Structure 1
Amino acid sequence: MPYEAHHVKLIETIDTLIETFESDPEFKSFYLDGQTIVVEDYLQVYPEKREIIQRLCDEGKLSLGPWYILQDEFLTSGEANVRNLQIGHRDASTFGPISKLGYFPDSFGNMGQAAQILQQAGISTSVFGRGVKATGFNNRVEDASGLESPYSELIWQSPDGSSVLGILFANWYNNGMEIPVDPEAAKAYWDIRLERARQYASTRHLLLMNGCDHQPIQTDLSEALRVARELYPDCEFIHSNFDDYVKALKEELPEDLTLTTGELRGQHTDGWYSLVNTASARVYIKQLNQQNQTLLEKTAEPLAALAHGLGKAYPHGLLQYAWKTLMQNHPHDSICGCSVDEVYHEMKTRFAKSMEVGSSLATESAKFISSKVDSSVFASYGDQAVPFVVYNTSGYATSGAVTVEVEWSRRFFNQSEDPVAVFNEVAGRTHGEGYLVDAAGLRIDVTAVDLGVRFGYELPGDKFRQPYMARALRLTFEATNLPALGLASYAWIPSKDAQVEQEPQDVYLVTGDLTMENEHLRVSLEQDGSFSLLDKISGQLYSGLGIYEDVGDIGNEYIFKQPIGDTAITSRGVQAEITLTEDTPYRATFEIRHTLEIPASANELLQQEVETMVEFRQRQAIRSQQLVPLHIVTRISLERSSHALQVHTTIDNQSKDHRLRVLLPSGVQSAVHYADSVFEVAERQTVPAPEWENPSNCQHMQSFVDVHGDGRGLTAAGKGLNEYEVLRDAEGTIAVTLLRSVGELGDWGVFHTPDAQCLGANEAEWSIIPHRGGDTRFDAYREAYRFAVPLITAQTDIHEGELPPVHNFLTWEGKGLAFSNLKLSEGSGDLMARWYNLADAPSELSIQTSGDTVLYASNIMEQHTSDVLEESLPVSKAGIVTVGISSR
């Protein structure tokens, strides 16, 4: 249902819960699903009932936290998972005790670093519902060899060695719902429930969960338990809570619990219900999420933190609001794309709201920092020089093309003046000619587009709005050698003599009709639009890249299912229209146009099978005989300093019930591959376990997937493209899903989702990064991380300042380490910077800041954990490290 429809049901449920607590002293406790947002949504309607909620929490009847929401772990970033814990703890602490339980009841698989994250938050136990097959055939423990655990209890360990007690909801999280009060019905109920619970339990403590999705409160639970006690005098039935249950369980755990390491993704199942294809349902939602997460964690927070060091107040409240608004889109049935269409109408609004806040904060921070940058180096060009600053907040030194719009010769006016006259005045005295210089006075190759005179306005903090007219230009150029967390200054110099004075341009990147190259890569296009990539450093050639593959899909939002006998339609050998669209010294771009004739939809049988709830594996529908054109426009770009080929794909989708992927042969035969996940690059098997029956072996990625061997490797990175498959072919082909079109939700009913067909214009951004394998893959991974983070610009004026025109706020080094985030701690007021180790070996992190600071080790909850770091901090293999930075 849409959000507000559920909201109404939530209010009814919590009202009933409060009434039950008040009327039945034997009704002991209720677990609010591990989330604080439940209370937030309730108090939005009934703020006057806050004291009642607080009293119930203080009495231990309501358990709040540890999360703000129940997220999907694989489709939300590492920082989003951390903010979820931080905000959940913060909100829960205002009501009473915080539930210290790693609660993942229905996540579609569990991240490998969960144990390390939980341990850093002071949580030693986790419960989860998916990802592990606990027992062998017919629950026989002796048949469990090679599986994750013979019990519902196990030790769950992260790659760094951190571990928690893991408890699987082996009989699901509703195994104690709707307990009968009638003795005869209760006897039949308990005989089954107790037997099933005993089959999995490692102790005599049996966990039964009295609730489920959309489940009302069982108001006669106390009576139902009284009946159960009479029927089974040898059993003690306790209306308990997780704290008491876990304490009792730990006192009796056997010593032979299985140790399970890393991700729990259901790999020892038949592969149909791992639900990984939710990673490609409604790709547009994943793309908005990636943009939003990146904006907050890689742009808005770092810029706000750096601005705070220069005297600007840190916007804790607004950033928390932006994060909360974003995280309201992170519950697994939301971000996974497996809900009704109305859910996504509201999600798009939430993304827009969060990004408006994040963009405003980033803009204000960049503007403030720019006011502290010494731009007086441009004064020699006259008072018409237009300085601006480029910010790199990716955490890695970089060079890259950037586009910025600048304005000059602003003419402010008031209500008594004629705007037309002001417009003409500015137009008459300005022009679009000039040149670009850096802080050293070197001229920069630039593409300048004169946008003419346009209206603008300022909203000063001390006076009424200030409208103006100004000449505007759009500048595109390559910003080189940008510091890892720093800035570089440039200036546009208006000049009618710019072309005469312009120095000869560098060698262009286009080297032939269908080729382009820089010092690292050479790209050659074929007539069908595929291309080869030569890594000039290693000498390795990657051929046949960029073929598009389209197949039918008669599954649902949860699960991809190719029709029986369906044959892929590909762009291989199909003549493409190829045009050179950009040819500058800093970037070259070819545009490739494909038109594939594909079926308009599945045939009419699919609708009948959906309406009658034919299980997707039993469906006989095939693709329609009617064909429609699938127009694909691909822009491949090579930048002068880049180690990657950047690709932008536009898809005009007029077809239903299908999936479109791009194929990238790595030329590497390997039993394993590597996927960017939450605070790790996870090693995964390319060939699934023997019990895997699903022909498809799609998997999740955050930013990239990598296949490599000796001397050769290929990394494919995407923005909001979260599903890939490494094909079991001779070429080690990486298949990245760009679009999946389906028309139903799936699961337990008939819910039509026409918007999930994703008709109309769809876009995808991805890149390809070759490397030499071994430790050079970490350079490719950093390139992939940089790819996702845009460069930020801010125009300023000519002034002296405390910051040099090129400046690095924080320098760091560490083999195999990845930068995650820089922000300000609300509790201590200190800077908090986070890294994680991608390597399966220890490393060291060294940090240099631009001020007089003290460094200390912290954790994800931003608590001081050890004393001052003098030179470097040891980082364990796969370790997540947070460093506090305070001023002396």
Structure 2
Amino acid sequence: MSAKQSVHIISHTHWDREWYLPFEKHHVLLCKLMDQLMETLEADENYKSFHLDGQTIILDDYLQFRPEMKEKLQRLIDAGRIHIGPWYILQDEFLTSSEANLRNLQYGLKDAAKWSSNVSKLGYFPDSFGNMGQAPQILQQAGIDTAVFGRGVKPTGFNNTVSDAEDYESPYSEMNWQAPDGSTVLGILFANWYSNGNEIPVDRDQAQEFWKKKLADAEKYAATPHLLLMNGCDHQPAQTDLSEAIKVARELFPDYEFIHSDFDHYINQVKQSLPKDVKVVNGELRSQHTDGWGTLVNTASSRIYLKQLNQKGQAMLEKVAEPLASLAYLAGEQYPHHLFSYAWKTLMQNHPHDSICGCSVDEVHREMVTRFDKSRHVAEMIIDDSTAALTSRINTNAYRPYGEDAIPFTVFNTSGWMRTGVVTVELDLERQYYAKGVNRLELLNICTDNRILIDEHGQEYPFALTDLGIQFGYDLPDDQFRQPYMARKVRLTFEACEIPNLGYKTFAFVKAEKPSVADTLIHHPREMENEFFIVHFEDNGSLTVTDKMSGNVFTKLCVYEDSGDIGNEYMYRQPDGEKALTTEQIKAEIRIIEDTPFQAAFEIVHHWGLPSRASEQLDSEQSQLVWFTARKSQRVQETTPFTIKTIVKLEKHGKGIDVTASFDNQVTDHRLRVLFPTEIDTHCHYADSIFEVAKRDNQPSSEWKNPSNCQHQHAFVSVHNQEAGLTIANKGLNEYEILRDGKNTIAITILRAVRELGDWGYFPTPEAQCLGEQTVHFKIIPYGNGSYTDAYQFQIPWVVKQASLHDGDLPLTQTSLEWSGPKLAFSSMKVAEETGDVMLRWYNLSDEQETLAIPQPLTFYKSNVLEQESTKLENEISINKYEIVTIGLKKKESSRP
């Protein structure tokens, strides 16, 4: 190192939009901060700049209160005094979807560009609870070559010694962070946290002591002569006397160069001084080389209802609304960018780490539920408009020979792969509008049992019908007043087969003699079977599943486990010495509830008694701020009845077993999981993560002390070897653990009930006990040598739209895009606002090159995550290992709708 080291002081505030206070209270504090900051910047020319925490939403929030300050704010941004971007919000990376992480960057950069052409190009992750492995690739594609982060890596040896030991990811704060595809960015860890330069003293004696410690701490980790001091912390007001504090520091420590710096300058200096021995850290950064008590991974199971709402909201936008709006766009409709912007931003306002992680006060999470609803309602309107536009263009006259009362309807498959599955649709057999008069008797007399269900080739499909009677409805025409009506409605359930990917198939409910169908999937009172599986129900309600393709048998699936939890919203903590309770020795009630040619279902009921709560000692320990690892509280002996109803479904052509579990939680301070012993011999497993299926070790590192080894997942977790595999897909159940029980059991958390926020104070959160009715969904997918397609499709709801008999320029069945690439996962289909091109995204799941083949005569090009046009492509594209690839399709040259 050079004789004179540089101390880069970067002013900032880590602005949690909501956390220990509800949003509007933090909102008021933000207004005060921004007023004070701008006043300081204008009054003190030596106060060089301020980093606005990477969130462009802060600008919107501030101007809600202070629209008159926009010009002043603009001047300071133009002058480089306030640094903004690139994110819209500071998200939790592991609890937000792949596409949500990209939309965060896309909307953040777009909004920042409205203010300045000099947007901060920094991968800013100051407080994410772990960092996604594909971040370097995403950042590189966005033109960003540096990331700073506060968690995920243990950089030093024992007792803070800078070490070259192999047990630690890096001996320095600085490292090269590499994604699975090989993309690399400079990674800088806030080794002394993002507040190590907070409240720098002006008093000389205090400054002497402050700087002596801070400089020594920074030097322990720095690989270059450039030391980083972050002047700020959570909701920290700007330090108005910082210029004077820096002047005092220069006088006291003349051997150091003190600079009121910014990230651009600091990173540029670091890059010029990096030593050759900077380590490479690979993929996910999840604090695995620690004692395991500080990973904050159990936020994945705090307030699971939020995760379920988030999964549904994300899927409705990225997997349903965007593809359908794109299909409608290709058919000539306008793409509603403005609606998507509102829906995505409203959804992403729930994605900051203290929000989606469920680790805030109760008021925060009440407001989140409203935001989830608002975003989803907009998505539902987009979906309805898009399907209405498409069905109006489909030529349904092929069904007219069956009679003028034939009822066509279209099933849309918005996933990237052909899909077969059980679909439910509600149909109006007849409508009578109030304007023309309603005859209820006439509606009641409509026959419902003289129809069959067919496709365009006349093939009949068995179905189940539920008569819904007479119901009120209304139309909202674009050119006239609302039109209320009464309708005779029925609900059809059937198995829709081979619906084209990113496309649709149109069926019709027509009058004809209804054939008798005696086919069944149930040949035993405790068993159901299709071409892939035999599912047997044991006396305790567990499942024995035989994979007919491979011959593998999985036993004791779906046993429930309950344990005490004396931790908090951040971390699970089981009481000392407690043994978990299970349903393994409980006799269950088992009955058949559905038996059709296309689907069978059993209901399992467990009547259980669980300890009612933790002892009163927990109240005392929490109020006295006893750290959760030191708590001695136990669960009480008193029990509360706890009933779990489990519905297990098997479809005729289903490659997995759908499970829905419901219960009324009246027990506090506990965790409920469902167990799947795999008995598969392997040292690793695979979990769906951000643009990758991450490979993770079953055993934690040697440093790990936490008895629990929970991890994050998105769509699924999978354990497999060459002979057998078991994948458990889920909807909004983001926490799992591979138990160290000799069986490689997959444990999925379906409820965690706690009573406090945790962290730096005592914040009771009674609503985090999640009392009341709860329902969870997961899918068991055994396989010998299968894919993850079914697990991805499990996330995506079917969309069905009733049509009428009419002419049209679209066929009854259509796919918008034929493609192949066995090792690829399809991620999204949307329209770029700037170019009007249709953007399609895949990612390579494997460590081998794969070919994406698109046989249609289309004009397309390779893009990046920001949807910028680059290389024109042929019909086959080579995709590198673990690469995220975005393809732009020119609409005007497309020969297909």
- Aligned: 1:38 with 2:58: yes
Structure 1 unaligned segments of length 5 or more: list them.
Answer: none
Counterparts in 2 of 1:115-130, with a 5 A limit? 115-130=136-151
| 1:95 aligned to which of 109, 115, 123 | 115
Aligned residues: 871
| 2:826 aligned to which of 819, 842, 847 | 819
The answer for the alignment partner of 1:166 in structure 2 is 187
CA distance in 2, matches of 1:507, 1:210: 71
State the 1:815 CA deviation.
Answer: 2.1
- Aligned: 1:219 with 2:240: yes
Per-residue CA deviations over 1:150-182 (Å, capped at 9, x if unaligned) read: 000000000000000000000000000000110
The answer for the alignment partner of 1:407 in structure 2 is 428
State the 1:113 CA deviation.
Answer: 0.2
The answer for the alignment partner of 2:207 in structure 1 is 186
CA distance in 2, matches of 1:90, 1:585: 52
- Aligned: 1:256 with 2:286: no
CA distance in 2, matches of 1:798, 1:762: 42
Per-residue CA deviations over 1:344-388 (Å, capped at 9, x if unaligned) read: 110000000000000110111011111111111110111111111
- Aligned: 1:841 with 2:858: no
CA distance in 2, matches of 1:463, 1:142: 75
| 2:607 aligned to which of 588, 595, 599 | 595
Structure 2 unaligned segments of length 5 or more: list them.
Answer: 1-20
Per-residue CA deviations over 1:650-684 (Å, capped at 9, x if unaligned) read: 02111000000000011102111110000000000
The answer for the alignment partner of 1:865 in structure 2 is 870
- Aligned: 1:292 with 2:313: yes
CA distance in 1, matches of 2:23, 2:41: 27
The answer for the alignment partner of 1:486 in structure 2 is 503
Which region of structure 1 is more displaced relative to structure 2, 234-243 or 505-514?
A: 505-514
CA distance in 2, matches of 1:20, 1:830: 45
- Aligned: 1:469 with 2:489: no
Per-residue CA deviations over 1:174-230 (Å, capped at 9, x if unaligned) read: 000000110110110000001100110001100110100021111111111111111
| TM-score of the superposed pair, with normalisation by structure 2 | 0.96
The answer for the alignment partner of 2:257 in structure 1 is 236
C-alpha distance 119-798 of structure 1, shift in aligned 2 (>3 A): same
| 2:573 aligned to which of 530, 540, 561 | 561
| 1:449 aligned to which of 466, 473, 495 | 466
CA distance in 2, matches of 1:605, 1:432: 63
CA distance in 2, matches of 1:217, 1:436: 68
State the 1:12 CA deviation.
Answer: 0.5
Counterparts in 2 of 1:2-401, with a 5 A limit? 2-96=22-116, 97-142=118-163, 144-401=165-422
CA distance in 1, matches of 2:483, 2:87: 44
Instruction: Give secondary structure in 2 for the equivalent of 1:566.
Output: coil
Counterpart code for 1:394: S
| TM-score of the superposed pair, with normalisation by structure 1 | 0.97
State the 1:427 CA deviation.
Answer: 3.0
Instruction: Give secondary structure in 2 for the equivalent of 1:209.
Output: strand
Instruction: Give secondary structure in 2 for the equivalent of 1:815.
Output: coil
The answer for the alignment partner of 2:886 in structure 1 is 882
State the 1:504 CA deviation.
Answer: 4.0
CA distance in 2, matches of 1:610, 1:422: 65
CA-atom RMSD in angstroms = 1.1
CA distance in 2, matches of 1:144, 1:55: 49
CA distance in 1, matches of 2:439, 2:368: 42
Counterpart code for 2:697: Q
State the 1:622 CA deviation.
Answer: 0.3
Contact preservation (8 Å) 2:450, 2:514: no
Instruction: Give secondary structure in 2 for the equivalent of 1:66.
Output: coil
State the 1:145 CA deviation.
Answer: 2.9
CA distance in 1, matches of 2:670, 2:306: 18
The answer for the alignment partner of 2:6 in structure 1 is none
State the 1:143 CA deviation.
Answer: 5.8
Counterpart code for 1:691: E
Contact preservation (8 Å) 1:598, 1:627: yes
Counterpart code for 1:704: F
Counterparts in 2 of 1:477-556, with a 5 A limit? 477-493=494-510, 495=511, 498=512, 501-505=513-517, 507-556=519-568
Contact preservation (8 Å) 2:676, 2:747: yes
State the 1:295 CA deviation.
Answer: 0.3
CA distance in 1, matches of 2:104, 2:465: 43
Which region of structure 1 is more displaced relative to structure 2, 374-383 or 504-513?
A: 504-513
Instruction: Give secondary structure in 2 for the equivalent of 1:207.
Output: strand
| 1:618 aligned to which of 626, 630, 633 | 630
The answer for the alignment partner of 2:704 in structure 1 is 692
Contact preservation (8 Å) 1:409, 1:430: no
CA distance in 2, matches of 1:468, 1:431: 19
CA distance in 2, matches of 1:287, 1:608: 32
Instruction: Give secondary structure in 2 for the equivalent of 1:366.
Output: helix
CA distance in 2, matches of 1:478, 1:764: 23
Contact preservation (8 Å) 2:756, 2:766: yes
The answer for the alignment partner of 2:7 in structure 1 is none
The answer for the alignment partner of 2:18 in structure 1 is none
Counterpart code for 1:874: S
Contact preservation (8 Å) 1:422, 1:469: no
CA distance in 1, matches of 2:863, 2:59: 30
Contact preservation (8 Å) 2:164, 2:170: no
CA distance in 2, matches of 1:409, 1:430: 11
| 1:728 aligned to which of 730, 736, 740 | 740
State the 1:483 CA deviation.
Answer: 0.8
The answer for the alignment partner of 2:9 in structure 1 is none
State the 1:315 CA deviation.
Answer: 0.2
Contact preservation (8 Å) 2:589, 2:605: yes
Per-residue CA deviations over 1:302-354 (Å, capped at 9, x if unaligned) read: 00011001111000010010000000000001000100000011000000000
State the 1:431 CA deviation.
Answer: 4.7
CA distance in 1, matches of 2:163, 2:573: 34
CA distance in 1, matches of 2:368, 2:570: 18
CA distance in 2, matches of 1:246, 1:344: 37
Contact preservation (8 Å) 1:432, 1:450: no
Contact preservation (8 Å) 1:431, 1:471: no
